[in-house]
Amino acid sequence: MKKKPTEKKQTGLLNAYIESAGVVEKEPITKMLEKNYMPYAMSVILSRALPQIDGFKPSHRKLLYTMYNMGLLKGKLTKSANIVGATMKLNPHGDSAIYETMVRLSRGYEALLHPYVESKGNFGKFYSRDMAYAASRYTEAKLSLICEDIFDDIDKDSVEFVPNYDNTLKEPSLLPVKFPSILVNSNVGIAVSMASSICPFNLVEVCKTAIKIIKNEKFKILDVLKGPDFPGGGFLIKDDEAFLKIYKTGRGSFKIRSKYNIDKENGCIDITQIPYTTTVEAIIDKIISLIKQNKIKEISDIRDETDLNGLKITIDLKRGANAKSLMTKLFKYTPLEDSYACNFNILVDGTPKVMGVKEILVNWQQFRQECVKRRTKYELQKKEKKLHLIEGLNKILLDIDRAIKIIRKTERDDEVIKNLMEGFSIDEVQAEYVAQIRLRHLNKQYILDRVKEKEDLIKEIEKLNKILKSEKEINKIICSELEQTIKKYGKPRNTMFLYSVEEEEETKEEENKSFYVNLFVTRAGYLKKITAQSLRLSHEQKLKEKDKICLQGEVLNDVDVLFFTDKGRMYRVNLKEIKENKASSLGEYMPAYFKFDDDEKIVKVIYTKDYEGNLLFFYKNGKVSKVSFSSYKTNRKKLLTAFSKDFELVSLFLEKEERNYMMRSNNEKAIVVSSSLAEVKSKKDSKGVSFLRLNKGCVLKSVSLVEEKDLKNLKKFVVEKIPSSGKVVSTQLSLNEG
C-alpha cells in the first residue's frame, strides 16, 4: 500500500527532527543574553524592584488600588485574605508575596512613618526577625486616612490607566499623590545590576521643602530638611557634609545611634530605640559574642523585654561598671550604632535615574503639575457639557408652553427629540436633556435656579481656563494642597539629632589603659591570666597531672602571646582577648582555642609588645635560621608557615642582642657559637645556614644559652667559623636550654 503525499511529508519532517535531536547550535553569548536575560532584567527593573516618582513600586500600587476599589478607604476593616485574593487580579506573583507587601505597608509592622494600611491583628515588627506576622486569614486591614491624599483625584482622569496583565481590567500607571511620598516613606529594592535605597524624611519638612523649591529653586534645602527621620526613632549623628552630599547626588551614608536610659537603681541599661537597619536579635547576638570573646566584661546579663509598650533591650551591669563607657564600646562594636547607605535610584518616565533631593522634588512637581492639568481638563469638560445643556434648557424655558405643545402634538415617541431640535434650534444632546425634565420642575423657581447656575458655571469655566493657561496658578494649587497635607498629617520628628560624640575619645583612652597581670603557660598548652590581687589571695597553681609551667611573667594585659607548633605554624592571641583566671583553675586550653590538629603540639611560647629583635631557629640537621621578629607582626590569628618544615625544630630563641649558644649533638660533640654568624633572612621558612657539621646518623640534640661568665670554662668549644664538627663533651654541663 502506497503512502499518501501528506504522510510522506510528515514522516520526512519527523526523521529530520530526530536526526537533529541533541545538536547544539553555536550562538554568541552576547546574542543569547540579549535574547534571554535582558527581557528578564528589564522586567525586574521596570516592573518590580524600583519605585517610581509617586513613591510606589508596582506591587504597592496594585495592592492599594485594589483596596481603594473595595471601598476600604472609608469602609470597615476586612480580612486580609479577601484583599490578597482581590489583588491577584492585578498582581500575578502569588498570595504570599502580596500579603508580605501589605504587611510592610501596615501600621502594625511599624516600618513606615505614615503607614498606608490600618491593621488589626499580629502584623509582626520590622525591628524583630523572630516576631513573625500571622496568616492572612487571621488579620484584618483597610486603607489609612492619609490615602485620601493619594486617591483623591484618581476618578478625575488625573493619571493614565493601563491594562492589567491579562487585559481584563484597567489599573493606574501612577497614583496622583498630593505630597512627595517618595521621600516620606522608606523604599528599598534590588534589581538586576542596580538597586535603590531611599531613607524616610519627616512629612512636614518634605512638604515645606517642596513649597520652597516651587517658589525659589535656589533655596538651600538643609535649612528646612534637617535630615532623615526614621519610624524607629534613635539618634542621627549630625553631619551636614554627609547630608549635603546625599541631597546633591542621591548617594552617601550617615550614622544612626540607639536611644538608651541608665537605670542606676536597678544597675541596668534600657535600650528603647534602635537603628532602622538592624533587629533586636542581631544586637543581642553580637553582644553575647563579644562577651564570649572577653572583649566586654561589664555585662552580667542581657535580655529582650519587648512587650505591648514597645521595644526594650535590658542590659544588667556588673558592680562598679561604667554605663556610659560600656555604651560607647557597644556603639563601636555592635549594630547599636549603624550606617544607612543611600541610593536614590528612581524610575522616571521608564528610565532608572539616581537623583538628589532637589531633583526628585522638581520631578515630583512636574508629575503633580500634569496631574493637576489632567484633573482641571476633566472638570472643565464636565462643566462645559453642563453649560451646554443649561443653554439648551434656557431656550426652552423662555417659551415653555410652546415646548409642551410640541411634545403633546407629536404622535411618535421617537420624534419628540427631532421636533424639539427643529422648534428651538437646539442640538440632540440639549433636546434629550429637556425631554427628561419632570413636569413638577416646570415652575418659576426651577427656571431662576437654572439661570443662576449658568452664571456660576461661566465663572468656574473661566477660572479653570485660567489655571490651564498659567503654570503659576497650577503651582499655587500644588502649594495649597501641600499646606493642607501638613495640617492634616504633620507629626513631630521621631529621630533626634546628636551633635557631639566627645565621650568616644575618653573611652578610647580608658580602653587603651595598660595594667600588669601575671601570665602562666604550661607545657600542655594551658594559659592563665591572673591579676596581682587574685594571685595574692591564692598563689598555689592548679595543674593537670604531669603538666609543668613552661613560661611565666608579669606582663601588660595587652601583649601578644605567640604559640609556635611542631607543624611549622604560629598562632597569635592578644592577652586582652583571654578572660581572667584564678590560680585554682586550669586556665584557657589554647589547642582547643586555636583548633589545633589532633597531633599538633606546642614547641615554644613567646610574648611581646613591640616585636623587636630576632628569632633564632635551631634545626635537627645542625642548621640555624635567623628571622627578624618584626616580620611576625600581623593581625592574623594564624600563620601557616612560621618556620621551615623540612627539618624538625630543636630550639627557638628570641634575642634582642647577639648571644652565644652551645649546640650539642647526640654523639656528645658540641660547639659554642655566636648568633652574629647567621644573617637575618627575609623569608620566615628559610632553611638557614649550617652551624654544626654532623656525622652520618647524628642529629642536633639540644641548644643552650651561654652566659658571658661561662665562656671561660667553655673556651675550647668556641668556634668563629662555621660549619664546625665541634669537640667531645667530657663533663656534664648544665645550661639554659631553649
- Closest alpha carbon to 594 in 611, 570, 568: 570
Angle CA 437–440–446, to nearest 5: 75
SS3 36: helix
Burial class (CB in 10 A: 0-12, 13-18, 19+), 57: buried
The continuous run of DSSP H or E covering 464 comes out as helix 444-469
Task: Name the residues annotated as catalytic.
Answer: 138
**Per-position b or e across 289-317, b if 16+ CB within 10 A of its CB:** ebbeeeebebbeebebebeeeebbbebbb
- Residue 532: other Cβ atoms inside 10 A: 11
Half-sphere exposure of 607 (CA within 13 A, CB side): 21
The DSSP string of 38-98 is: HHHHHHHIIIIIS-BTTS--HHHHHHHHHHHHTTTTTS--EEHHHHHHHHTTT--S-HHHH
Q: What CA–CA distance (Å, rounded) separates 173 from 169?
A: 13
Biggest CA–CA distance in the chain, Å, is 154
- Cell 654523639 belongs to 667
Strand residue runs (E) in 575-678 = 588-589, 602-608, 614-619, 623-628, 638-639, 649-655, 660-665, 669-674
- Cell 600588669 belongs to 516
SS3 521: strand
Which residues, including other chains, have CB under 8 Å from residue 339's CB and lie 6 or more apart? Answer: 253, 254, 255, 256, 277
Q: Check: CB of residue 561 under 8 Å from CB of residue 588.
A: no
Q: Check: CB of residue 255 under 8 Å from CB of residue 504.
A: no
The continuous run of DSSP H or E covering 593 comes out as helix 590-594
CA 83, distance to chain mean position in Å, is 30
Cis status, amide bond into 352, omega within 30 of 0: no
Cα torsion through 215, 221, 225, 228, rounded to 10: 130
- The 3-state DSSP composition of the chain as helix, strand, coil percent (nearest 5) reads 40, 25, 40
- Closest alpha carbon to 496 in 252, 226, 247, 713: 226
Q: Check: CB of residue 662 under 8 Å from CB of residue 671.
A: yes
